[in-house]
Every structure is written in C-alpha cells, then in structure tokens.
Amino acid sequence: EIEREVNILREIRHPNIITLHDIFENKTDVVLILELVSGGELFDFLAEKESLTEDEATQFLKQILDGVHYLHSKRIAHFDLKPENIMLLDKNVPNPRIKLIDFGIAHKIEAGNEFKNIFGTPEFVAPEIVNYEPLGLEADMWSIGVITYILLSGASPFLGETKQETLTNISAVNYDFDEEYFSNTSELAKDFIRRLLVKDPKRRMTIAQSLEHSWIKAIRRRNVRREDSSRKPERRRLKTARLKEYTIKSHSSMPPNNTYINFERFSKVLEEVAAAEEGLRGLEHSRRLFH
C-alpha cells in the first residue's frame, strides 16, 4: 500500500495537491517527506468566520475541483475526499490555497481491470463502495457532493445515529435540502449537489462537467462584475455556527490517527540513512584510492 501511495505521489504535481519531496526507507520504516502545509483544515478555517458568502465557499470549492480534475486526468481516484483531507497551505494570506492530502487509499483506475474495495470514511463513501461494486473516478464525485452539502449547510446529508444507518442512508440516497439549513442557498448550488449525489455512477456528474456547471462558472463572471461596479453586490450569507458545530463533532468522533509520525522511529530511520550514506562515501573513497 505504501508503495502505491509513493508511486502516485511521485506522479502528481499540482498547486492544489500536497507535494512529495523525499523518501527515507529502511527494513522496517518508510518515511515520506511532504510539503509543509501549515494552514490547518479548510472547514476549521471557515468555521471561525462569523459568516460565509456562497461566493467565498465556491472559491474554495473551485480549488478542490481543480485538484481533483488533475488527478482524474491521470486516472487517479483519491477515494478518501473529506474535510480532514482538505487543508490550507497558509491561512494567513488574503486568498488561501487549498491542498488535498492523504493518498493512502488512492488508486490508479486502469481500463479493463475491475477494482472493488470497501474503504474510506462512511459519511463520505459512495453507494458503490457500500454495495461492493466496481469502483472508478465517479466515487470521488459523490464525496465532493457530500463535502459541498456540508460546506453550505453545516449538516451532513447521510449521517445517521449509527454507522449502519449512515450506510443505509447512502445506499438509498436518503437526503433532502432542509429549509432550516438551506434557506440562504441558491438553487444553482442545490442543483450542483443533486447532480453529484446520484446513485448510478454513470449518471453522476464528472469532474469536467462539474467545472462547467453554471454555479461554478458563475464565479468568474461575478468577480468581473464586482471589479466593474462600485455598488456593493447583494451576497448570500451562510451561517457558520452549524459548520463550527459540525467540525467540533467530527473531530471528537475521529478515530486515533495512525498516520502521525512516530518521532523516535523517525530519528532512527534518519540515523540509519546517515550511516548508510557515510558507508557509501567510504566505499567511494576506497575505490578512488585503488584505481
């Protein structure tokens, strides 16, 4: 699995995807040296704001789509798109940059090779994962639909009282746009979500289609109008209190993260790498003396 993750990370290079800088390896450990991403999770950042405009939300979503578009152009499915894996490079800048992280279960989809698996975070997995059906890039698009729903409402569309209830809701595509949560949300935004939360993967909106959706394409047009007009436009404001509640609950219910570095083992790996490099330098020196 680590070999697959490394191979994928080596292949990708995009402004909205974390960069692999180097790898250290010994008999028992593989340590990936990744780009420093210090801005924290996107949802945590947005939850700290008093309110959020729909335009601001789509600016961040567009970056997520750009990153996924790049992955899908290489036939790479992330398979674990969720708020915890959408980070900010630096939150203390005017326009923070999104970084997609954690390619631990990412997979290259190859024509003619059927791929099935049961993995991911229940709240965000597509029906075809729940039902153990052949998987493709479409599974990521379902996850983007769930993420967008939460981003705009602070509510999770399929989350049940138990894991089994959540999976049942996903399989039945049992969700709605509760007026309590979506009173300030545009119909275009709801249409975007509806086209992603489709049970049949072949009828689900693709990443290319999502970038061409009117809700996403309207971002640029609205930005141009703002620059050309001195009148402050009316903006849809989304309440962030529920988003804050959602992030608190999701963090408190997260299982222990086994991807954190064990620094004691990490230091041993570095010591062994340094010793190996010193040995190689000694061999090179000896070779020069005798030749």
Active site residues: 80
Q: How far is CA 77 from CA 12, 70, 220, in A?
A: 12, 10, 27
How many C-beta atoms surround the C-beta of residue 271 within 10 A?
A: 11
* Residue of 85, 148, 155 lying closest to 120 (CA atoms): 85
* Contact status, residue 257 vs residue 104, Cβ threshold 8 Å: no
CB 22 within 8 A of CB 34: no
What is the H or E stretch that residue 99 is in? strand 98-100
**Cα–Cα nearest to 210, from 184, 189, 225, 235:** 189
